Amino acid sequence: MRTSYGKQTTLGESVRFSGIGVHSGKPATIVLHPAEADRGIVFVRTDGEEVEIAARHDNVVATELCTMIGIGGRTVATIEHLMAALAASGVDNVVVEIDGPEMPIADGCSAAFIELIAEAGLRRLAAPRKVLRVLKPVRLEVGDAVLEFLPHDGTRYDVTIDFSNPLIGRQSYVLDLNPRTFAGDIARARTFGFMADVEKLWKMGFALGSSLDNSVAIGDGRILNPEGLRWPDEFVRHKTLDAVGDLSLIGMPFIGHFRSYKGGHKLNWMAVRALVADAGAYEIVHDPVVAREPAGGIVQAAALAPSRD
């Protein structure tokens, strides 16, 4: 079975969402507006002088605790959960108005943004969708972390995490990305952290909005959230969600197989930069036709480890 990437899309109407920033702890409101073809996803800071920041890899200014984009000292932080929802839902063009420097965290995942997009609906535009097709392997190794793009007839994320903490350990997840698999298997996976690290961040003035309402907390050898985990492997599912959001900063969908071992925001961004820097590693195509991916989101993860060559 073959499927077309079709025409570009935008939202059917404007929609609003409010919450708090996970690091600032301050109120934050976004308004998503429909946008014309080839506009892409752009963030507009509406507090003070308006600044438009395209959600692209070349506007990333920080990746330590989240993914942050900025221009001229004006920034928007923690964009990855919304970006993942937009990418998975097939939204190409949106203007995101935001009244401060940080996105609302909601409950620490993408579910609220998936619902927001569903509320707005999608409108198809006349222009064909532009897609990056991976033509040859591009591999990034940093310490024992490995990330790579491979040719593939579809869009696949293959993510492995490996923590010394036994509550997480080594987990792998493979996602063939489409709206159904993301919404059903990934969107509700929450961000997570260790209480010892969070307490240090609090003292430094970060994670001021973090709570059991928007994060999975690990401490005293147990999960501190009364409701527990949403899946036994919620940790790797959230890392997969982050990867979908971070890789959307390519600026368009991609056709290929992304594999990650011990990745994170910074390494995701570095992998995107390595890919787009190699002009022979990809081509830009309009409305490509690819094999339709399976409806399910889990397949056996292949081993990924540093090269010994």
Annotated binding site for Zn(2+): 81, 238, 242
The b/e string for 202-223 (b: 16+ C-beta within 10 A; e otherwise) is eeeebbbbbbeebbbbbeeeeb
To the query of whether residue 265 is one of the catalytic residues in this protein, the response is yes
Taken in order 295, 215, 23, 14, the sign of the CA dihedral is positive
Distance from C-alpha of 282 to C-alpha of 214, rounded to nearest angstrom: 37
The rounded distance, in Å, linking the Cα atoms of 26 and 218 is 24
The answer to whether the CB of 8 falls within 8 A of the CB of 128 is yes
Of the candidates 271, 13, 193, 259, the one whose C-alpha atom is nearest the C-alpha of residue 120 is: 13
Instruction: Let me know: does 230 contact 44? Beta carbons within 8 Å.
Output: no
| C-alpha gyration radius of the chain | 18
Which of 57, 152, 257, 265 is catalytic? The answer is 265
Catalytic residues: 265
